[in-house]
Structure 1
């Protein structure tokens, strides 16, 4: 059974959020629904056109503002276990004044990244000081995972590994990318995910588009196929793993370039340890590819943090001087792409440990050869 976080964990997160809010020189933090809200309260509440937000202040208890028609559902969520004060409102009331109750017109507000403009603008209109992004507060909290979060990421990694282990059942020449993706979607759910957050089946030239999803293209026996898949496993922490497949002998140039990509991914993973920068991990992968003349075919960052969001801090990208610390978790996913021809990517989620890193994904990283028929 999946480990769930108890109310003490969320109470501690709220306490630390209030301390960091004060340290950032902010009078209040306004957190809209989404991953930040869930991280701090355990609730999966959603905001539509009516405001639901968590208000954190250094000088007062955290409280939630929500429409009365959402009140019952909110009390039945994890927020009920936290016994947070809830200020509810009905249509015709001013929810923004309610959120800012007790704060002056010159209050220094921090707002979460995902707060919609629909709500941000009315909040800003009620203050003489422009709101700031709450990123310095929230990233500091969410970047370092605790033991329960790391356990959840390991479960997610094992679950997506089991899906990749079944790829020979789904990925067969003569089928379309969409047909393969439909089978993968069912397998992702069967292997413990609540749903598939994304499925990329990039065959042949489509593999050269890192964000290709799936199409009606029929997969050929000579194709190289990129499979990038993931989604949340209870209690909401995500998997994300990419492997590249073929159906037999591949062209010599593809085999050589894939071997270089594998070396680049290994070099980046080997470089992960506390005290080094995110930039240095990106450089470890990029330098290997550049030395082989493939630098201009690696067209994205080396990785991204993962947790309740598929993409979050820290970002493993050139120029990011964030220093790695134990408890950080992120992808390492260099790729090589030849437009109109083929592409490949290798991706693992790693956790920074006290003296190096641990990969939550253990499937082979070779160019995996699958049978041509089931």
Structure 2
């Protein structure tokens, strides 16, 4: 039976509430309107997104008027029957017409308009020309809403987190010396779908020296006995919410005598990062706490990534656990904690779990698969 958390999607009432909250954010930001392009922001507020290639599609959320969704006429049938029709007006434009003038004509002259992070520059400039004033960055306006998840969203993330845990629990079925990274990755990708995901969004299988490249994907390299293998996997549930979890495994006993020490340091760093993740404290503090452990152990120059990223309807979204992001953590925020050590030409170690800030302000893990580098039979 499919876990209902994997299928959950917000209803029309929740979408309407999001639009109302977003209009309030637009006012607070001193904007007259925010224009949202196809992508995760549009899915967040309307429950779906539909690209239109080079043609302009945009949800316009005025500060003090009703929102409307501008779409190309040839794309209009794709929105038929969707909740979007119950939430907003859907004016259309035909090839040869100027869609930006359609937007400008519904706003006051000289309106100050923000565009979200997904807006292609050609559309941002087209809107600016039609408005007679350049558009401004509007990503932070909707970002403030998306960073803090509701109880239902947290449940959706817990559900997909448990689904990816089940995949990690099966890694011993596929990870064996003599097999290539690509062969192992193909089996893992199939299991990600079997365990309830809509698709496998990424499957990193980094064996031996390939594990020292944090975003190595897969190759035809054959896994050797005793070498570490970094496996970083995830994808969206049918709900649209993402999983992301990393473990580092070894087939047999470690061949490199330094591996176990490095692995313990990374695990200690992750614990320190999670312990620093408390409401009211800055995101940068999570990175600083994890990084201090690795630096004090003498491996600081080999920790070449940030400590984590927000997660939700995108696998990477705000906020970020990195120096310079001083966003205060708050209940409902969800993010990865994934310190690592990457020794060029030798191996890499990364341990990653998704963490949520609970109602009490304390961190809660959304992943619970064993972290041990020994493969679970």
TM-score by length of 1: 0.96
**Structure 2 residue 278 is matched with structure 1 residue 273:** yes
Distance across 2 between alignment mates of 1:340 and 1:76:
55
Aligned to 1:358: 364
SS of 2:69 mapped into structure 1: strand
Picking from 114, 124, 127, the partner of 2:131 is 127
Aligned to 2:13: 8
Correspondence list, 1:125-164, <5 A: 125-164=129-168
Aligned to 1:322: 327
Aligned to 1:254: 259
For residues 329-373 of structure 1, the C-alpha deviation after alignment (integer angstroms, 9 at most, x for no partner) is 0000000000111001000000001231111100111223367xx
Task: Kindly state the Cα deviation for residue 122 of structure 1 after the two structures are TM-superposed.
Answer: 1.1
SS of 1:287 mapped into structure 2: helix
**Structure 2 residue 28 is matched with structure 1 residue 23:** yes
Aligned to 2:343: 338
Check whether the contact 1:265–1:333 (CA below 8 A) recurs between aligned residues: yes
Distance across 2 between alignment mates of 1:57 and 1:30:
9
Task: Kindly state the Cα deviation for residue 227 of structure 1 after the two structures are TM-superposed.
Answer: 0.3
Distance across 1 between alignment mates of 2:204 and 2:314:
18
Aligned to 1:215: 219
For residues 44-74 of structure 1, the C-alpha deviation after alignment (integer angstroms, 9 at most, x for no partner) is 3123111111000012111000011111211
More displaced 10-residue stretch of structure 1: 362-371 or 158-167: 362-371
Task: State the superposition RMSD in angstroms.
Answer: 1.3
Distance across 1 between alignment mates of 2:376 and 2:207:
14
Picking from 175, 183, 187, the partner of 1:183 is 187
For residues 252-287 of structure 1, the C-alpha deviation after alignment (integer angstroms, 9 at most, x for no partner) is 311111111111111111221111111111111000
Aligned to 1:168: 172
For residues 129-176 of structure 1, the C-alpha deviation after alignment (integer angstroms, 9 at most, x for no partner) is 321111221111000000111111011100000111110111111111
Task: Kindly state the Cα deviation for residue 105 of structure 1 after the two structures are TM-superposed.
Answer: 4.9
Task: Kindly state the Cα deviation for residue 4 of structure 1 after the two structures are TM-superposed.
Answer: 2.5
Task: Kindly state the Cα deviation for residue 125 of structure 1 after the two structures are TM-superposed.
Answer: 2.1
**Structure 2 residue 75 is matched with structure 1 residue 70:** yes
Check whether the contact 1:28–1:57 (CA below 8 A) recurs between aligned residues: yes
Check whether the contact 2:171–2:375 (CA below 8 A) recurs between aligned residues: no
**Structure 2 residue 49 is matched with structure 1 residue 44:** yes
Task: Kindly state the Cα deviation for residue 104 of structure 1 after the two structures are TM-superposed.
Answer: 4.3
For residues 59-106 of structure 1, the C-alpha deviation after alignment (integer angstroms, 9 at most, x for no partner) is 211100001111121122231342x10111111111111122232452
Check whether the contact 1:264–1:334 (CA below 8 A) recurs between aligned residues: yes
Task: Kindly state the Cα deviation for residue 119 of structure 1 after the two structures are TM-superposed.
Answer: 1.6
Aligned to 1:288: 293
Runs of 4+ in 1 over 4 A off after TM superposition: none
Check whether the contact 1:278–1:324 (CA below 8 A) recurs between aligned residues: yes
SS of 2:288 mapped into structure 1: helix
**Structure 2 residue 81 is matched with structure 1 residue 60:** no
Check whether the contact 2:252–2:374 (CA below 8 A) recurs between aligned residues: no
SS of 2:19 mapped into structure 1: helix
- Residue segments in structure 1 that go unaligned for 5+ positions in a row: none
Check whether the contact 1:245–1:370 (CA below 8 A) recurs between aligned residues: no
Aligned to 1:238: 242
SS of 1:238 mapped into structure 2: coil
Distance across 1 between alignment mates of 2:376 and 2:225:
10
Check whether the contact 2:248–2:350 (CA below 8 A) recurs between aligned residues: yes
**Structure 2 residue 124 is matched with structure 1 residue 112:** no
Distance across 2 between alignment mates of 1:312 and 1:132:
20
Distance across 1 between alignment mates of 2:82 and 2:263:
47
